[in-house]
Amino acid sequence: MINKQRLLATFLELVQINSESGNEIEIQQLLKSKFANLGLKVVEDNAGQHENLGANNLICTLEATTNDDNIDNIYFTSHMDTVVPGINVKPIVKDDGYIYSDGTTILGADDKAGLATILELIYILTEQDIAHGKIQFVLTVSEESGLEGAKALDTSLLDAKYGYAIDASVDVGTTVINAPTQMKINTTIHGKKAHASVPNKGVSAINIAAKAISAMKLGQIDEYTTANIGRFEGGSATNIIADKVTLMAEARSHSDESINAQVAHMKSIFEETAEKYGCSATVEIINSYPGFKISQDAIVTNVAKASAIALGLTPNTVMAGGGSDGNIINQLGIPTVILGVGYEHIHTTEERMSINALNLLAEQLIKIVEITTQKSEN
């Protein structure tokens, strides 16, 4: 049903456009033109006015082909940005059926596979005159830098009953229905500066931080929760006892009770350890993004599973370890699940995308549209 050569060409075109987080203007302008040329109504919000956001989100609307009010309005979302290193990507199609970069950059299948399959979906719906309800395509910026584009999304532009984020690093046909909450713990430890030759006159902030970390529960906390110290900075020279250290940490969990307990634990360890040495710790807690849990019996889940079955795929549902724009849009009251894309080793220079998975993903999007249309006829 799909045009496999066109889909591959679209994917190869998109991954070669530089679009690291904060620098999406080139791909945003290209996609704006492509969607407009396909006859969609394309609207930009004002996300680009926010600090560190490089372009606006796009909300592209494909109007219904029928006046049947029983057909649900749905949406699909993919993000335009990539992680680093993503400049001058050179995709290579190999005989094993996978697309790779040349090894010096990521490939950018996360999430340009989603963007490419969305475009193929629109081509097919139009060319084959497939009946459908109103469909919106929400293309976001800065997903990779903390879902910041989705957080800045103009929600007044959305008109969907439920939808699908095309952005899970699981097999095509698998659907993510549960994703964690993430909280950031940013800490500054204040010690006392002194010359290294007179250590009794100073208190090392580095030493305080080390003792705090060694006393802290980190890694896999329980079946729902993880915690990690990701960044540690401090000191200036070997002959100076450091009076300041900054640490950046996170906790993520599928349990609100567990994450709140873990964050409180980390905060108290930093503060109590610093106080023990006559110093202080300033701890900032940031709720980076909320988690979500969609029922197995929800319409959005059932449609996703039915689309997988229609393609002969196993309709697994799973929990995710990370967040996506679906975390944010779920909070708006629009039930959203995350579709498996099939990309592998994302965020690394070994990233690769199966051509077969790319084709299956495009077919699944078409099936989702067909099922939502047929559902109204039953």
DSSP 128: T
Cα separation values, 227 from 120, 176, 274, 276, 289, Å: 39, 21, 20, 24, 15
The C-alpha atoms of residue 89 and residue 108 are separated, in whole angstroms, by 8
Options 20, 143, 250, 370, the catalytic residue:
143
- Flag whether 250 is marked binding: no
The three-state secondary structure class of 210 is helix
> What single string gives the DSSP state of each residue in 283-325?
EEEEEEE--EE--TTSHHHHHHHHHHHHTT----EEE-SS--H
The C-alpha atoms of residue 338 and residue 317 are separated, in whole angstroms, by 10
The C-alpha atoms of residue 21 and residue 40 are separated, in whole angstroms, by 25
CB atoms within 10 A of CB 4: 14
- Flag whether 96 is marked binding: no
The C-alpha atoms of residue 364 and residue 193 are separated, in whole angstroms, by 61
Tokens matching residue 8: 């591959």
- Flag whether 144 is marked binding: yes
Q: Is 143 a catalytic residue?
A: yes
Closest CA to 224 of 181, 286, 273: 181
Q: Are 318 and 143 contacting, i.e. CB atoms less than 8 angstroms apart? A: no
Binding residues: 110, 144, 167
Q: Which residues are catalytic?
A: 143
Binding residues for Zn(2+): 110, 144, 167
